[in-house]
Amino acid sequence: MRDILPVLGRWYAARAPFGLATVVRVSRSAPRDPGAAMAVGPDDEVAGSVSGGCVEGAVFELAREAVADGEARLETFGYSDEDAFAVGLTCGGEITLLVRPVTPGLDPAFGAVAESVAAGEPVTVATVTEGPAPRGAVLAVWPDRVAGGLGTTGLDAAVTADARGELALGATGLRHYGPRGQRREDAVEVFLQSFAPPPRMLVFGAIDYAAAVARIGVFLGYRVTVCDARPVFATPRRFPDGVEVVVDWPHRHLRETGTDERTVICVLTHDPKFDVPLLTEALRRPAAYIGAMGSRRTHTDRLERLVEAGLTERELSRLRSPVGLDLGARTPEEVAVSVAAEIVALRWGGSGAPLTVTEGAVHPAPPVV
């Protein structure tokens, strides 16, 4: 979708109706991931692809029909052993597409979404695929505002909260709700598509704890990098697939790496010659979370060294040390859960207390960021 948005934005600005087909569900060896899109615009111009050529002919007709009758539809394509050359995925698997017409009247937020994506501004688009809510209804959710609607105030509120959660991770997928946003029902299916790169997790210190933190970081949707100056420890085979491993002095690597308000920085080296220059750099740049491992004695010594390095009280107040929540964790995997719990609590304003001793909504409205 991101690749074809410039074309779609041009059609939309010209008020030319177009049919938009988006992959919302896949199974087995489907050729494209959720979020892949194809559109049919004026003069039957086609942009994008949903299967690499297997079903595009059929999708072309569905998109034209959607424009002609103004109705959204859900269509599933799969592989047929009996007739492998029928319209379907000859490579196997199954994809489900939402095909909907797009005009300024049907989707008044589309132009703003296209502009945000072009400008690198994060936004999630929530679209009803099935259920009693209007199929094809769209709610666009930014960190600080929303546009559009899905049919009921309760559904809009629930989806807005979840959309901001997906946006924080740059994630895309299906969610289910009741007609008024009830979370324990699944009558309404909504496809949440986030236009934001996944946030970064930078882990410094290639120790066993780092491998566990990196693993849970991948699970939470972060793009994870592990950095250590010691090549004997910083080897890819010690870390999960998909984790970038860098051999460099930590402070130098951080200085050359871009961070933003979603970035997580975990300092697990607990060695002053690495920690002090690294944290001096980290605490003076954008980041959602900066945590450092070590005992309370190590933490006190580290603070003294950072003060000597010139950091202010305000800068030092951003440091989470000793790292993690008090779970009684011992093993690297347990410590990783403790660190992840603190990251999530800090992101959403959670107290870290057991829900049995708290009051009010279990899922309060997330803070506007």
Q: 234 pLDDT exceeds 80?
A: yes
Q: Is 200 helix (H, G, I), strand (E, B) or coil?
A: strand
Whole-angstrom distance, CA of residue 136 vs CA of residue 103: 12
The beta strand positions in the chain, using DSSP E, are 18-27, 37-40, 46-48, 73-78, 94-102, 123-130, 138-141, 146-148, 172-177, 188-195, 200-204, 223-228, 244-247, 264-267, 289-292, 319-320
Q: 363 pLDDT exceeds 70?
A: no
Q: How confident is the model at residue 166 (pLDDT cuts 50, 70, 90)?
A: confident
What pLDDT shows up at residue 86? Answer: 46
Whether the CB-CB separation of 210 and 185 falls below 8 Å is answered with no
The pLDDT tens digits of the residues spanning 304-315 come to 999 999 999 999
What is the end-to-end Cα distance of the chain in Å, rounded?
25
Q: Is 181 helix (H, G, I), strand (E, B) or coil?
A: coil
Q: 2 pLDDT exceeds 60?
A: yes
The DSSP letter of residue 90 is: T
φ and ψ at residue 62, rounded to 5 degrees: -65, -40
What pLDDT shows up at residue 367? Answer: 52
The pLDDT tens digits of the residues spanning 54-113 come to 788 999 999 999 999 999 999 988 755 444 334 455 555 788 999 999 999 999 999 999
Mean pLDDT of 361-367: 62
What pLDDT shows up at residue 167? Answer: 85
What pLDDT shows up at residue 33? Answer: 80
Report how far apart, in Å, the C-alpha atoms of 250 and of each of 55, 209, 228, 275, 289 are: 49, 17, 6, 8, 17
The pLDDT tens digits of the residues spanning 122-145 come to 999 999 999 999 999 999 999 999
